[in-house]
């Protein structure tokens, strides 16, 4: 496996879009395609052109976008589906037919012989029209093994360029996948591709085993989206292949997080924080023992063969209930706050008290505790002192906010519109700083603390300056706009304070 070259086939725009409830616009698909090109994906399945005129046009626009990657379209073994792929100007046509008994009986209602004939005719038609052809035996892993080989041999003979072995309903275990791909590889000479679904959480493991057994191409999606429990995740598959096995792909892994976030935003499918590689916590440490080790040498409690830099992530030391003094000291020192051992112990103890009440510790909490312990608390040097906030919103009004504040003793007013009242108010707050507003909103979360319409809104904000320094702050208020504005002002004041102190 060391140095083995593996081709990455991404199907985010086809199987990924089949995620229940997901529908991407053509503009979003084109942007994702450009991002996948930047990421270094070899082939993308841009859509299923026969499924709608919109999908056909979308695939066509991706084919003509001047991308380096190869564009593929999906087709049943039907002439009209293949023609729709030709009309979309794809270089590779991916044609598929069910081969398992259950799917042959209940979907296409064809005999084994009829399926082989349809598959061969489809492949010949694609090749006669000068395109590359990939053939999938849908539900291959539940197909009678001898019959499956017979099908693959027939399409190979018909001129097919690559065969795909889909684990359509995700029922394989890694050892069985290994054996099945070995058996196919012993009979077939054209490249083998695998398409693994994640019904039992084994899609990545099965893809890796398939590559060990002889497959040279993997089908994956960004964030593992796709039918039901999804497909093999691109980031996890590629990082395992390259970092663990030492295999080679063309993926520029430093764009993995950026790509994941784009797909998260466009699909609305949010990743759990503990998602491997690209999740918020993939390189975060809260426990005292882990943080101390990581601050000395990151390999102590990280894989080492995969670093945050490699995947475009950031390492974070998070303060909370499990924090120790090394992490607190480092967080204070990076903000220019020096404490002696006794003061540090007191700060740690107060941080734990707050966290024990179920609160997530922000930088604002840390600095407030440190100021109290070090006897330096003061709001005198705050950059922004909020005076008034008013918002107008409704079904016939463009949400508009007006914010009045003292900026170092000078009264300043800003008014802005937004997609909603919170957006308008946050834009107005940022506008009161005029040219000095070089802060980027890195994280924004709203939680309802109690149930009901009168719940307290708890807003948590991460703000980043031009040098990549991030501070976190929060505010809780029954008014969601006020909670958002206060949290942003707190974060801006903190960042400004840290900048002027350094
Ligand atoms: C495992 C997978 O991901 S396969 C891809 C699944 N993706 C999708 O289905 C998304 C896009 N699909 C669509 O827009 C529609 O299903 C279409 C346009 C393809 C077909 O729509 P309809 O003609 O309304 O048929 P419908 O979807 O209800 O049924 C599927 C038909 O395709 C047939 N079929 C399914 N797979 C194949 C195949 N590989 N080759 C030939 N025919 C097939 C079925 O037998 C059924 O035919 P029937 O109408 O004669 O019974
Ligand atoms: C179209 C095929 C390859 C598919 O998505 C599957 O079998 O899961
Ligand atoms: Mg699939």
CA-closest candidate to residue 183, choices 150, 205, 226: 150
**Residues 32 and 61: beta-carbon distance below 8 Å:** no
**Cβ count near 72 (within 10 Å):** 28
CA of 197 to the centre of ligand 2 (A): 9
Residue keyed to tokens 């849908």: 138
Q: Is 379 a domain residue?
A: no
In a domain, 160, yes or no: yes
The pairing of beta strand 43-47 with beta strand 7-10 = parallel
**In this structure, what token pair is assigned to residue 161?**
């360029």
Ligand nearest the Cα of residue 231 is 3
How much distance in Å is there from the Cα of 14 to the middle of ligand 2? 10
Spacing, Cα 138 to ligand 2 middle (Å):
6
Parent domain of 203 = 7-267
Distance CA(270)–CA(238), nearest Å, equals 21
Q: Do 428 and 348 share a structural domain?
A: no
| DSSP three-state, residue 320 | coil
Name the burial class of residue 37, with classes exposed (0-12), middle (13-18) and buried (19+) by CB atoms within 10 angstroms of its CB: middle
User: With a 6 A CB cut-off, is 275 part of the ligand 2 pocket?
Assistant: no
Q: Which atom of ligand 2 is nearest to the CA of 164?
A: 3
Contacts of residue 231, defined as CB under 8 A and 6 or more positions apart, other chains included, come to 11, 15, 16, 195, 196, 197, 198, 203, 219, 220, 221, 224, 225
Atom of ligand 1 nearest to the CA of 74: 5
d(CA 13, CA 10): 8
* Confidence (pLDDT) at 449: 65
Q: How far is C-alpha 396 from the chain's CA centre? A: 36
Residues with CB under 5 A from ligand 3 (ion): 15
Residue 169 CA, closest ligand 2 atom number: 8
Q: Are residues 294 and 262 in the same domain?
A: no
Q: Whose CA is nearest to atom 33 of ligand 1?
A: 108
Question: What is the CATH number for 449?
Answer: 3.30.160.270
CA 168–ligand 2 middle distance (angstroms): 6
Residue 278 lies in a domain: no
Q: Is the CB of 136 under 6 A from ligand 2?
A: yes
Task: Label each residue of 237-295 as H, E or C.
Answer: HHHHHHHHCCCECCCCHHHHHHHHHHHHHHHCCCCCCCCCCCCCCCCEECCHHHHHHHH
**442 phi and psi angles, rounded to 5 deg:** -95, -30
Give the C-alpha separation, 80 to 85, whole Å. Answer: 9
Nearest to 138 by CA among 219, 72, 195: 195
Residues 219 and 344 in one domain: no
Mutate to test the pocket of ligand 2, among 136, 151, 163, 194 (most ligand atoms within 8 A of CB): 136
Asked if residue 78 has its Cβ within 6 Å of ligand 1, the reply is yes
- Distance (angstroms) between ligand 3 centre and the Cα of 227 equals 6
Domain boundary among 330, 346, 374: 374
Q: How many structural domains are present in the chain? A: 3
- Please check whether residues 246 and 323 belong to one and the same domain: no
Best residue for ligand 2 mutational test, from 47, 162, 195 (most atoms within 8 Å of Cβ): 195
Whether residues 366 and 449 fall in one domain = no
Which one of 374, 399, 431 terminates a domain?
374
Question: Is any ligand 2 atom within 6 A of the Cβ of residue 48?
Answer: no
186 and 304, same domain (yes or no): no
Closest protein CA for atom 1 of ligand 1: 168
Please tell me the pTM assigned to this model. Answer: 0.87
Identify whether residues 291 and 217 lie together within a single domain.
Answer: no
| Ligand 1: centre distance to CA 94 (Å) | 15
Domain closes at, from 374, 407, 437: 374
Measured between its terminal Cα atoms, the distance across the chain in Å is 49
Atom from ligand 2 closest to the CA of residue 166 = 7
- Dist. CA 123 → ligand 3 center (Å): 20
- In three state form, how does the secondary structure of 458-470 look? EEEEEEECCCCCE
357 CA distance to ligand 2 middle (Å): 49
Which atom of ligand 2 lies at the shortest distance from residue 197's CA? 8
239 belongs to a structural domain: yes
Please name which ligand lies nearest the alpha carbon of 168: 2
**Vertex 51 angle, CA 48 and 54, to 5°:** 90
In a domain, 368, yes or no: yes
Two structure tokens written together for 330: 């480092």
Do residue 323 and residue 404 come from a single domain? no
Residue 276 lies in a domain: no
How many other β-carbons are positioned within 10 Å of the β-carbon of residue 89? 16
Ligand 1, residue 77: give the atom nearest the CA: 40
Residue 206 and residue 80 share a domain: yes
Is the CB of 81 inside a 6 Å radius of any atom of ligand 2?
Answer: no
Provide the 10 A C-beta neighbour count for residue 107: 13
Please tell me the distance from the alpha carbon of residue 482 to that of residue 95, in angstroms, as a whole number. Answer: 55
Same domain, 240 and 345: no
Q: Is ipTM strictly over 0.95?
A: yes
Q: Which DSSP string corresponds to 140-170?
A: GGGS-HHHHHHHHHHHHHTT-SEEEEEETT-
Number of H helices, E strands in the chain: 17, 16
Residue closest via CA to ligand 1's atom 14 equals: 51
Tokens for 244, please give them: 């663990």
Query: Which residues contact residue 277 at a Cβ distance below 8 angstroms, ignoring those fewer than 6 apart?
Result: 233, 235, 236, 239, 256, 306, 311, 313
Can you tell me the distance from the alpha carbon of 402 to that of 417, in angstroms, rounded to the nearest whole number?
9
Task: Give the CATH number of the domain where residue 154 resides.
Answer: 3.20.20.70
Residues 303 and 487: their CA atoms lie apart, in Å, by 35
- Determine the residue of 19, 20, 51 to mutate for testing ligand 1's pocket, defined as the one with the most ligand atoms within 8 A of the Cβ atom: 51
Atom in ligand 1 nearest the alpha carbon of residue 50 = 18
Residue closest by Cα to atom 17 of ligand 1: 51
Ligand 1 site, residue 97, Cβ cutoff 6 A = yes
Residue 205: phi and psi, rounded to 5, are -60, -40
Which residue is closest in CA terms to ligand 1's atom 37? 76
Tell me how far the alpha carbon of residue 246 lies from the centroid of ligand 2, in angstroms: 28
- Give the position, in ligand 1's atom list, of the atom nearest the Cα of 107: 45
Atom 6 of ligand 2, residue of closest alpha carbon: 168
350 and 486, same domain (yes or no) = no
- The reported pLDDT for the residue numbered 387 is 92
Q: What is the mean pLDDT, run by run of 10 residues, along the chain of 502 residues?
A: 96 97 96 98 98 96 98 98 98 98 97 98 98 98 98 98 98 98 98 98 98 98 98 98 98 98 95 96 95 95 97 93 94 87 93 85 85 68 87 92 91 94 94 80 80 76 85 85 92 82 58
Distance CA 342, CA 347 (A): 9
**Shortest-distance Cα residue to atom 2 of ligand 2:** 138
CA–CA dist 391, 396 (Å, integer): 14
User: Atom of ligand 2 at shortest distance to CA of 227?
Assistant: 8
Residue 128 lies in a domain: yes
Ligand nearest to the CA of 226: 3
Within this chain, do residues 231 and 288 fall inside the same structural domain, yes or no?
no
Query: How far is it, in rounded angstroms, from Cα 488 to Cα 492?
Result: 6
């Amino acid at each position: 496996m060391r140095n083995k070259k593996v081709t990455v086939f991404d199907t985010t725009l086809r199987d990924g879009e089949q995620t229940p409830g997901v529908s991407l616009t053509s503009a979003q698909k084109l942007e994702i395609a450009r991002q996948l090109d930047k990421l270094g994906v070899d082939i993308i399945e841009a859509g299923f052109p026969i499924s709608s005129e919109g999908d056909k046009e979308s695939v066509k626009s991706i084919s003509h976008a001047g991308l380096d990657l190869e564009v593929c379209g999906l087709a049943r073994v039907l002439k009209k589906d293949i023609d729709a792929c030709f009309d979309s100007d794809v270089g590779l046509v991916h044609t598929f037919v069910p081969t398992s008994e259950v799917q042959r009986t209940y979907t296409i209602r064809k005999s084994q012989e009829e399926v082989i004939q349809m598959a061969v005719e489809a492949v010949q038609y694609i090749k006669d029209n000068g395109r590359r052809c990939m053939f999938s035996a849908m539900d291959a892993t539940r197909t009678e093994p001898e019959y499956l080989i017979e099908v693959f041999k027939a399409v190979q003979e018909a001129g097919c360029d690559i065969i795909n072995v889909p684990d359509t309903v995700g029922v394989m275990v890694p050892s069985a996948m290994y054996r099945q791909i070995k058996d196919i590889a012993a009979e077939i000479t054209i490249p083998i591709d695998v398409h693994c679904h994640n019904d039992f959480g084994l899609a990545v493991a099965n893809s890796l085993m398939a590559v060990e057994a002889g497959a040279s191409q993997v089908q994956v999606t960004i964030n593992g989206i796709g039918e039901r429990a999804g497909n093999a995740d691109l980031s996890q598959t590629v990082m395992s292949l390259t970092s663990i096995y030492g295999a080679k792909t063309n993926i520029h892994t430093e764009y993995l997080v950026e790509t994941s976030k784009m797909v998260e935003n466009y699909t609305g499918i949010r990743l759990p924080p503990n998602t491997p590689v690209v999740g918020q916590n993939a390189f975060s440490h809260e426990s005292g023992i882990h943080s101390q080790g990581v601050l000395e040498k990151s390999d102590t409690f990280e894989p080492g063969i995969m670093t945050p830099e490699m995947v475009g992530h950031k390492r974070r030391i998070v303060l909370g209930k499990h924090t120790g003094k090394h992490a607190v000291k480092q967080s204070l020192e990076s903000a220019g706050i020096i404490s002696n051992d006794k003061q540090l112990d007191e700060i740690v103890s107060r941080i734990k008290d707050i966290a024990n009440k179920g609160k997530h510790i922000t930088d604002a909490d840390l600095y407030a505790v440190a100021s109290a312990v070090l006897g330096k608390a003061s709001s005198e040097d705050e950059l922004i002192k909020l005076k008034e906030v008013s918002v107008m919103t409704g079904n016939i009004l463009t949400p508009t906010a007006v914010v009045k504040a003292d900026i170092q003793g000078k009264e300043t007013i800003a008014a802005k519109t937004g997609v909603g009242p919170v957006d308008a108010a946050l834009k107005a707050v940022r506008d009161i700083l005029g040219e000095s507003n070089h802060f980027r909103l890195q994280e924004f979360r709203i939680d309802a603390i109690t149930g009901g319409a009168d719940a307290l809104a708890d807003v948590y904000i991460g703000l980043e300056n031009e040098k990549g320094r991030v501070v976190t702050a929060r505010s809780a208020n029954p008014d969601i706009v006020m909670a958002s504005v206060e949290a942003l002002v707190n974060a801006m004041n903190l960042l400004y304070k840290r900048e002027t102190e350094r």
